[in-house]
Chain A
Amino acid sequence: AQSVTQLDSHVSVSEGTPVLLRCNYSSSYSPSLFWYVQHPNKGLQLLLKYTSAATLVKGINGFEAEFKKSETSFHLTKPSAHMSDAAEYFCVVSVTTASKLTFGTGTRLQVTL
């Protein structure tokens, strides 16, 4: 079985400050991990993915995540938040890249002036 736990349901940061969205995973196999973002009334957009290559993964819009097997974590970071980053972020795991995706409960990121 596979699962992800997003440790914060809501994160609020000031514009220009760092963003950290936390995710821990559980998987019987070496997982593929993803972060998706959902802006209001929009579909789920892929931010970045880890598929057993480099453990530090860079995505779109300045986001990156580091796969840490010893900690079973895949936290999402960004050095400087922008107002347009306000959205819902989902950590997602799959056993293989071909299989179904298992979603976390989501973290709502609020960015204030």
Chain B
Amino acid sequence: EPEVTQTPSHQVTQMGQEVILRCVPISNHLYFYWYRQILGQKVEFLVSFYNNEISEKSEIFDDQFSVERPDGSNFTLKIRSTKLEDSAMYFCASRNGDTQYFGPGTRLTVL
């Protein structure tokens, strides 16, 4: 069964550094999403992406964040200058019909 994959599974970075989280959505899906879950808190929506552009974003998704589909298979989330409060589990999802399918997540730790 096709799955959404994410790399790396864990990322540790220093405050102020740039990070890129990578996702490979299910191949025939057209809608892509990023969510995050800060430890002990709810899963929160960050951004949705369709047809090579952002279709919706939350107030969390400020100028420090960007998304890109650099080729036909990858979907990336970049954080330009990480802050301590960016430490969280980041989930990628892709959608077919009415169901979003999630990847296993990338745990980002900012020191």
- Stretch with Cβ within 8 A of A (4 or more), from B12-20, B76-84, B102-110: B102-110
Secondary structure at the B interface, as helix, strand, loop or mixed, is strand
Q: Residues 3-19 of chain B: 1 if any A CB is under 8 Å from the residue's CB, otherwise 0? A: 11000000000000000
Tell me how many residues of B have a C-beta within 8 Å of chain A.
25
A46 near B31: Cβ-Cβ < 8 Å = no
Secondary structure at the A interface, as helix, strand, loop or mixed, is loop
The residue that A32 contacts in the complex, of B31, B45, B48, B98, with Cβ under 8 A, is: B98
A105 near B42: Cβ-Cβ < 8 Å = yes
Q: Which residues of chain B from 71 to 111 have a CB within 8 Å of any chain A CB?
A: 91, 93, 95, 97-105
Contacts of B31 in A (CB 8 A): 98
B102 near A44: Cβ-Cβ < 8 Å = yes
B33 near A42: Cβ-Cβ < 8 Å = no
A43 near B4: Cβ-Cβ < 8 Å = yes
* B65 on interface, CB distance cutoff 8 Å: no
* A99 on interface, CB distance cutoff 8 Å: yes
Contacts of A42 in B (CB 8 A): 104
A104 near B42: Cβ-Cβ < 8 Å = yes
A34-B99, A97-B98, A98-B98 given; name 6 further pairs at CB < 8 Å: A36-B102, A43-B102, A44-B102, A101-B100, A103-B35, A106-B42
Q: Would you list 26 pairs from A and B whose C-beta atoms are within 8 A, ordered by A residue?
A: A32-B98, A36-B102, A43-B3, A43-B102, A43-B103, A43-B104, A43-B105, A44-B43, A44-B91, A44-B93, A46-B99, A46-B100, A90-B43, A97-B97, A97-B99, A98-B95, A98-B98, A100-B45, A100-B56, A100-B58, A101-B43, A101-B45, A103-B35, A103-B44, A105-B41, A106-B42
